[in-house]
């Protein structure tokens, strides 16, 4: 942590520490942020999880536990999403530095769109199957069916 920051109290019952209005670096023009840290211990007293978060939201005794839970949830979502993009066929870790100007950005955007589309399909699949069961099997191509009034 940068020098000159205001140290916050550590809640030993939760293992959550917070600091209000820390400077992100030395210097008068440094960005002012709020910092919090979480540490989870097992019954033997060994650390099983430790992380720190920086936020622009106010950190105080009433909000620090909720902010730590939100930070941990966000980290989990981001970590799982990036893991999927890297290891489940999207190959986002590949260097898309081909092309002279914008090809790398286009390929990355197409990868993200494919990921979003697959996520929506995964969420909607159950509902689609229920609708198809209710409506029954299609017997004629869509172009030959009459329009419903």
Quick: pLDDT tens for 17-27: 666 577 777 88
Decide if 19 is inside a domain. yes
What range does the domain containing 123 cover? 90-137
Q: Are 62 and 102 contained in the same domain? A: no
- Is 12 in the same domain as 76? yes
For the stretch 70-112, pLDDT in tens is 888 888 888 888 888 888 877 776 555 666 667 777 778 888 8
Q: Is the pLDDT of residue 52 over 50?
A: yes
**In terms of domains, do 80 and 125 share one?**
no
Q: Taking CA 18 as the corner, what is the angle to CA 16 and CA 22, rounded to the nearest 5 degrees?
A: 155
Structural domain contains residue 145: no
pLDDT at 9: 46
Q: In 3-state terms, the chain is what percent helix, strand and coil (to 5)?
A: 40, 20, 40
Phi, psi at residue 83, to the nearest 5°?
-60, -40
16 and 54 together in one domain = yes
Looking at the structure of the chain, the number of domains it has is 2
Instruction: Let me know whether 25 and 54 are in one domain.
Output: yes
Confidence bin at 127 (pLDDT 50/70/90) = confident
Give this prediction's pTM. Answer: 0.49
């Amino acid at each position: 942590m940068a020098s000159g920051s205001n140290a916050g109290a550590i809640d030993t019952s939760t293992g959550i520490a917070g600091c209000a209005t820390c400077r992100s670096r030395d210097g008068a023009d440094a960005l002012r942020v709020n910092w919090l840290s979480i540490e989870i211990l097992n019954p033997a007293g060994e650390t099983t999880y430790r992380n720190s978060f920086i936020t622009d939201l106010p950190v105080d005794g009433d909000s620090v536990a909720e902010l730590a839970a939100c930070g941990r949830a966000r980290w989990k979502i981001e970590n799982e999403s990036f893991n999927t993009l890297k290891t489940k066929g999207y190959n986002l870790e590949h260097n898309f530095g081909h092309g002279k100007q914008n090809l790398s950005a286009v390929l990355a955007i197409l990868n993200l769109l494919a990921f979003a589309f697959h996520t929506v399909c995964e969420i909607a699949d159950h509902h689609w199957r229920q609708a198809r069961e209710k409506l029954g099997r299609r017997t004629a191509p869509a172009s030959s069916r009459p329009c419903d009034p």
